[in-house]
Amino acid sequence: MSEKLKTFFRKIRIAGVVFTCFLGVSLFYIFSGNLTNIVGRYLHVLPSYLGGEVAGSVYDTTADDNGSGILVYPTNAAFEDGAMDIIRYTVHEPVTQGKWQKSSEYWQLVLEYMNGPAKVRNTMIYIDLDNLEGGSTEPLFDAAENVTFDMEHPWDFAVWICGGQAKVYDSEKNPIYQTEYYEENGGKVIKIRIPLWNKNLQAVYASRKTYHYVITGGYSEFDRGGFMPIEKRRTLSRGGTKSSKDYNALIPKIYDILGDNAQLATWNKDEFTKAVIHPVEIEMHPYFESGKPWHGEKSEQSEQAFINKVTEEYAKYAPNTENMFANVDDSVADFKQKLKENPDDYVSMAYYGSCLAIQGGQSSVIQAVALVNQAFEYLDKAAELAKDKPEEIEVLANRASVAYSVPNDVFMKTETAVADFTRIISLYKNGLSEEELAKPENKSAVAYYYTMLYLCHQRLNQETQAVLALQEAKKLIE
Amino acid sequence: MISSLILCLMMGILIFFFVPLMSNFSISSVIYAVFLMYLYVRMTFSERKKPGSSAKYRSIFQITFAVGFCIAFIADLYASRGSMAITEGAMSSAEIPFCHIAIPQVLVPLLITKNIIFPARIAGHYASVASMLLIWLVCTIVLGRGWCSWVCFYGGWEEGFSKAGKKRRINLLPKNKEIREFSFGFFAFIVLASLCELACTYCEWFCPFKLVTEFSPIDSIPSLIGAVMFIGLFLGLVVVMPILTKRRTQCSALCPFGAFASLTDGISMFKMKIDTDKCKGCMKCAQVCPFGAIDIKTIQDKKGSPELTCAKCGECVRACPEKAISIGFRFDHKCGSSAQKSKTKFGRVIQELLEPAQLFRFAAFSFSVVMSSNFMTRAMNLIVRAIIK
């Protein structure tokens, strides 16, 4: 290589080093959030640390925690809305040689509810393994929950979850042992890990299909099987029927079941038969057979198409703010003037905050951070002033949009966006009658806010909440 | 002079952006920014008077960061789970913070099983797997093993204790080679054991820093043995031995990340160089090297650079009376600046700005600023609150 060429390459290398040292390190940290997310997509923790590969996950309809449509919660404030509303049930593959775990061989089941706390509910999971003969079609405790089980699928094991613990029983109704029990998110998520020391339970390793009956009622320590009785009229510690005419002694003491709640109405008072419930089928080992992890089945393209559709629908009816945000410098000046004239004009304050954030997006990095921080000072103050006022939705929509748009790794505002979109949806739902809600402008707005909520939850890796928000949006638009 | 001012101005902007601006100008962030600025200004200007004198300020930073990091980290643990002990819930949800020491243990199993053998969050947290892997990758390219002496939030403990004793009681210089061989042997053992066990063996049994971060609850015989190991190793290798030897013994003998960083240092942009023509063989550099990277053989054989385990701390530059040691670009084979001095003032300023030592110090301190800002601001808040109470 000639001396000139060598000198040229040396200069190029030095230029690279200079750029890396003076700017590269800072740029890396500024964009590390995005880079981390990209790298994170290709990395997975060894499943045995996380409960094993997911065999199957079933979503349940939301807001169906009323039995077959006739039950109401006790009046005690501890029974928060949705505390007995099952929203998702996940069955994992059984784990062998799990490191750093309490049991090295275990089977994980995860139950997710709309709300906590866990202490108010009594949950039973009855499991039928396809490779075990026999089983029972009667509940674990006689006359406890007032149901019988599908004759095709008698249960082999029952997991009784209440009072901050879980126990596993065989179909002879003998306790086998206590399982690992974890509560997360204030009781919204219950994670059960069944140790697989028992020989019969080890049959799950070879099961091709498992059948799960998941039922939840109110918890009462002194009643049969822990199931809180249902009375004609609800009291502080007893659930009831919506109308005393609905009451019958055969009503299952179950507020929610995984699957169709209509099966809870199959009791017959003339023949004096209890409701028959059917299980949810979970195929085991799909990962090993298809070679693809379960979570690889997401159809991202169809989701994107749906989001575009919702955004278009919303844009048809939403107020046109294009001009305001297109000439952002003029808008900033306008709103500044308005705030000068009336410092408590919270609507202008919210738009001023949004405009500042947009200005930030068009500025250098240092200016951007300063402007976005300033924007949030205005947006937060506006939200505070607008609370319970007619313009609250408009103000919160501004803050939520900005909170979603700014990078979460730098500003940590996605949680704020979640809270604001949730509040906006509840304001729509509580403030409008059903007829008004059915109008296309309101329907498209609520669907849009649900979609935004979905995107926020996705960003925070809150998969269940994201799916639920998208489901709600789809209910409105499709 | 002008070049130093320019560098300080650039660092000032960087500190302003990453410290007070990111923390919305909280008082603690402003105080910390002033402290960082003071260190960098002293570092840059003292280096003009005596090469290598910046090592003192690096040392002050690393000790402060290590203590601040542990305070903020332990406070985080107490806030989220109420104790320093790892709860079963955190373990079952894979929410154990991931640190750089686990990186060499997870890489080989990652290549084979395509999974991370550590129960940590993958992304979305400051101590997630993806963020630590990226930081390691960028740091390796820029600083190489310089991570250990500039950025490592554990290294400051040993740095502090190694400066605590006035006199060296045990001289490890004749054992340098054996210690290096042991560290690479131990590293190989840890990597193999982690692969066989599909769990991080060093984190489970050997990491002494569990004493100042988090540990498994002591509720069984194996966990008791583990506790005895980590307490013993902390007291032995992080406290007592550094005081007696004035060396970073855990870093140079046991830390698998240190050994791994030594092996991957070849891809970094900078390298310590010894001018064999200037070197008189006084061995002062070898005496002060905290990582045992220079020994008699290095000097006798005129290798021209320290051994693999050099962490670019700059102590040898400070100790050398002949100014024979300097930091240079890895792709330049000559020692010191090969270019002729520019005739114009502007040219000289640019030449000074592009000095490898200046560039390295700027990059290393930038890393230190961004890595420490969040922890140190929170730690200072906690200390102030504790004092007020």
Three-state SS annotation for chain B: CHHHHHHHHHHHHHHHHHHHHCCCCCHHHHHHHHHHHHHHHHHHHHHHHCCCCCHHHHHHHHHHHHHHHHHHHHHHHHHHHCCCECCHHHHHCCCCCCCHHHHHHHHHHHHHHCCECCCCCCCCCCCCHHHHHHHHHHHHHHCCCHHHHHCCCCHHHHHHHHHHCCCCCCCCHHHHHHHHHHHHHHHHHHHHHHHHHCCCHHHHHHCHHHHHCCECCCCCHHHHHHHHHHHHHHHHHHHHHHHHHCCCHHHHHCCHHHHHHHHHHHHCCEEEEECCCCCCCCCHHHHHCCCCCCCHHHHHCCCCCCCCCCCCCCHHHHHCCCCCEEEEECCCCCCCCCCCCCCCHHHHHHHHHCCHHHHHHHHHHHHHHHHHHHHHHHHHHHHHHHHHC
B18 close contact with A: CB closer than 8 A: yes
pLDDT at site A297? 45
End-to-end distance of chain B based on CA atoms, in angstroms? Answer: 46
A373 close contact with B: CB closer than 8 A: yes
Å between A166 CA and nearest CA of chain B: 15
pLDDT at site A9? 86
Chain-chain contact of B359 with A17 (C-beta, under 8 angstroms): yes
**Among A59-73, A90-104, A295-309, A390-404, the least confident range:** A295-309
A-chain CB neighbours of B13 within 8 Å are: 366
Chain-chain contact of A99 with B269 (C-beta, under 8 angstroms): no
Chain-chain contact of B92 with A191 (C-beta, under 8 angstroms): yes
For the cut 60, the answer to whether the pLDDT of residue B335 exceeds it is: no
CA distance A82 to A118: 11
**Among A118-132, A317-331, B328-342, the least confident range:** B328-342
pLDDT at site A416? 92
CA distance B139 to B264: 11
pLDDT at site B123? 85
Chain-chain contact of A369 with B22 (C-beta, under 8 angstroms): yes
Q: What is the pTM of this model?
A: 0.82
Residue B367, CB-side half-sphere exposure with 13 Å CA sphere: 28
B-chain CB neighbours of A99 within 8 Å are: 117, 197-199
B-chain CB neighbours of A180 within 8 Å are: 88, 92
The model's pLDDT over A269-328, given as tens digits with 9 standing for 90+, comes to 888 999 999 999 999 876 555 444 444 444 566 778 888 888 888 888 877 766 666 788
CA distance B38 to A272: 85
Chain-chain contact of B89 with A184 (C-beta, under 8 angstroms): yes
Chain-chain contact of A365 with B17 (C-beta, under 8 angstroms): yes
Q: In B, residues 231-260, which contact A (CB 8 Å cutoff)?
A: none
CA distance B174 to B31: 44
pLDDT at site A293? 46
Interface mutation vs chain A, best among B86, B122, B352, most A CBs within 10 Å: B122
The model's pLDDT over B201-256, given as tens digits with 9 standing for 90+, comes to 999 999 999 988 888 888 889 889 999 999 999 999 999 999 999 999 999 999 99
Of A292, A266, A294, A291, nearest to A278 by C-alpha is A266
Q: How would you class A461 by CB atoms within 10 Å of its CB: exposed for 0-12, middle for 13-18, buried for 19 or more?
A: middle
For the cut 90, the answer to whether the pLDDT of residue A253 exceeds it is: yes
Interface mutation vs chain A, best among B29, B40, B92, B203, most A CBs within 10 Å: B92
Q: In B, residues 169-228, which contact A (CB 8 Å cutoff)?
A: 197-199, 204, 216
Of B21, B115, B120, which is closest to A366 when you measure between CB atoms?
A: B21
B127 close contact with A: CB closer than 8 A: no
Q: With pLDDT > 90 as the criterion, what percentage of chain B qualifies?
A: 72
Of B92, B128, B130, which is closest to A193 when you measure between CB atoms?
A: B92
In the 8-state DSSP scheme, what is residue A130?
T
Strands B270-274 and B325-329, bridge-based pairing = antiparallel
Of B92, B109, B134, which is closest to A51 when you measure between CB atoms?
A: B92
Average pLDDT over residues A246-264: 93
Query: Could you give the C-alpha distances from B37 to A187, A297, B301, in angstroms and in order?
Result: 47, 51, 41
pLDDT at site A140? 95
pLDDT at site A204? 93
Q: With pLDDT > 70 as the criterion, what percentage of chain A qualifies?
A: 95
**Among A458-462, B126-130, B232-236, the least confident range:** A458-462
For the cut 90, the answer to whether the pLDDT of residue B136 exceeds it is: yes
Q: How would you class A165 by CB atoms within 10 Å of its CB: exposed for 0-12, middle for 13-18, buried for 19 or more?
A: exposed
Å between B303 CA and nearest CA of chain A: 23
Model confidence band, residue A469 (pLDDT cutoffs 50, 70, 90): confident
ipTM for the predicted complex: 0.88
Of B91, B120, B367, which is closest to A25 when you measure between CB atoms?
A: B367
Of B17, B118, B134, which is closest to A36 when you measure between CB atoms?
A: B134
pLDDT at site A294? 44
Å between A360 CA and nearest CA of chain B: 14
Chain-chain contact of B331 with A99 (C-beta, under 8 angstroms): no
Model confidence band, residue A330 (pLDDT cutoffs 50, 70, 90): confident
A17 close contact with B: CB closer than 8 A: yes
Chain-chain contact of B119 with A22 (C-beta, under 8 angstroms): no
Q: In A, residues 236-255, which contact B (CB 8 Å cutoff)?
A: none
Output the six-digit token pair for B281: 């063989």
For the cut 50, the answer to whether the pLDDT of residue B295 exceeds it is: yes
Å between B117 CA and nearest CA of chain A: 5
B-chain CB neighbours of A370 within 8 Å are: 21
B-chain CB neighbours of A291 within 8 Å are: none
Q: What share of chain A is helix, strand, coil (3-state, %, to 5)?
A: 45, 20, 35
For the cut 80, the answer to whether the pLDDT of residue B342 exceeds it is: no
Rounded to the nearest 10 degrees, the angle between the axes of helix B256-264 and helix B103-113 is 70
Contacts of B384 (CB under 8 A, 6+ apart): B28
Model confidence band, residue A115 (pLDDT cutoffs 50, 70, 90): very high
**Among A156-170, A379-393, B312-326, B332-346, the least confident range:** B332-346
CA distance A378 to A376: 5
For the cut 90, the answer to whether the pLDDT of residue B388 exceeds it is: no
pLDDT at site A300? 60
Average pLDDT over residues B278-305: 92
Å between A205 CA and nearest CA of chain B: 20
The model's pLDDT over B19-72, given as tens digits with 9 standing for 90+, comes to 999 888 889 999 999 999 999 999 999 988 888 889 999 999 999 999 999 999
Query: Could you give the C-alpha distances from B329 to A14, B149, B272, B289, in angstroms and in order?
Result: 8, 18, 9, 21
pLDDT at site A63? 87
